[in-house]
Amino acid sequence: MTKRSFLFGADDAGTSTTRLISTAASATGFMKGEPGPVQDGWYQWGADNSALLASLRDHLAAAYPAAGPALWAVRLYTNLIWQPAYLAVISVHLHGSVPDLAGLSQARSGIYIDRYRLVSAPMWTGSTEEMITRAGAQLRAMTDALLPEVNAVEKLRPMLAQRLLAERMLGLMLWLGQRRRELTTEQIEAYAAQWLAVLGLEGQGTLEQMEAGGRRLLIVKRKGCCLDYRIDPGRLCANCPKQGDAVRIGRQVANALAEIR
């Protein structure tokens, strides 16, 4: 039975926002957030973010001059989607209510985006499926707005942007499975499919089931490349599509087994 959806009252907004930020910090060990409005110079959806993006691009170019504009464009995009993506997934699957992500702002530190603020506002709850739809719609609007901002600084193909976001969401589904061990692989796969559908990312990546060590595991089959090899030419990510399937699957299965030991 679908749970009836409702908004938390304004009196509870501050408490719920603080709890979400605390949950994100404890679940990841690295997310650094605080409640409050945007600060000068921070990235905010719908604002003029051109100066921040240009500064981030310049820092990336100085750090990785040989990697070239294609890598800088990818890093611009991935830097600015990872915190909203984590918050969307955590709000649905660990916190149990969805914030207004329009109230999210993000700070730059050197070549990274790694702090955020979230305006306290009433949150929305419902069934898991309803919350995925709600949070996913917000995340899609944010990432759709980000792409032209990135392209004003460095060119990033829309298809690659979609594949980078798909890989992020699929990776988050594996991350979720490590933190909620009661979820079956079928449930994780179903959640992953719904997130991708809401984000308009069908066909841009998937999860694959594997049997290893007497366990059923999930790994990521991605379509896009993050171009990190342009920084370190001798190194490919474990799930990089530039590898043969046997190597890619073997590396991911080994990592998955290590996570559960």
* Residue 23 is assigned to a structural domain of this protein: yes
- Per-residue pLDDT, 68: 97
* Residue 199 is assigned to a structural domain of this protein: no
**Mean pLDDT calculated for residue range 63-75:** 98
- Per-residue pLDDT, 12: 75
What does the alpha-carbon distance between residue 218 and residue 208 come to, in Å, rounded to a whole number?
Answer: 5
* Residue 253 is assigned to a structural domain of this protein: no
What does the alpha-carbon distance between residue 94 and residue 100 come to, in Å, rounded to a whole number?
Answer: 16
Confidence category of residue 213, pLDDT binned at 50, 70, 90: confident
Query: What is the residue range of 54's domain?
Result: 6-156
**pLDDT tens, 178-188?**
999 999 999 99
* Residue 162 is assigned to a structural domain of this protein: no
**Mean pLDDT calculated for residue range 38-67:** 96
Confidence category of residue 4, pLDDT binned at 50, 70, 90: very low
* Residue 245 is assigned to a structural domain of this protein: no
Which residues is 219 bridged to in the sheet?
208
% of the chain with per-residue pLDDT over 90: 87
Residue 5 has pLDDT above 70, yes or no: no
- Per-residue pLDDT, 1: 32
- Per-residue pLDDT, 259: 82
Is the Cα torsion angle 135, 140, 145, 149 positive or negative in sign? Answer: positive
Confidence category of residue 176, pLDDT binned at 50, 70, 90: very high
* The pair of three-digit structure tokens given for residue 99, joined into one six-digit string: 């914030």
**Mean pLDDT calculated for residue range 17-39:** 96
User: How many domains does one find in the chain?
Assistant: 1
Assessment of whether the complete model's pTM goes beyond 0.85: yes
* Residue 33 is assigned to a structural domain of this protein: yes
Other beta carbons less than 10 A from residue 102's beta carbon = 14
What does the alpha-carbon distance between residue 15 and residue 35 come to, in Å, rounded to a whole number?
Answer: 10
* Residue 151 is assigned to a structural domain of this protein: yes
* Residue 207 is assigned to a structural domain of this protein: no
**pLDDT tens, 114-169?**
999 999 999 999 999 999 999 999 999 999 999 999 999 999 999 999 999 999 99
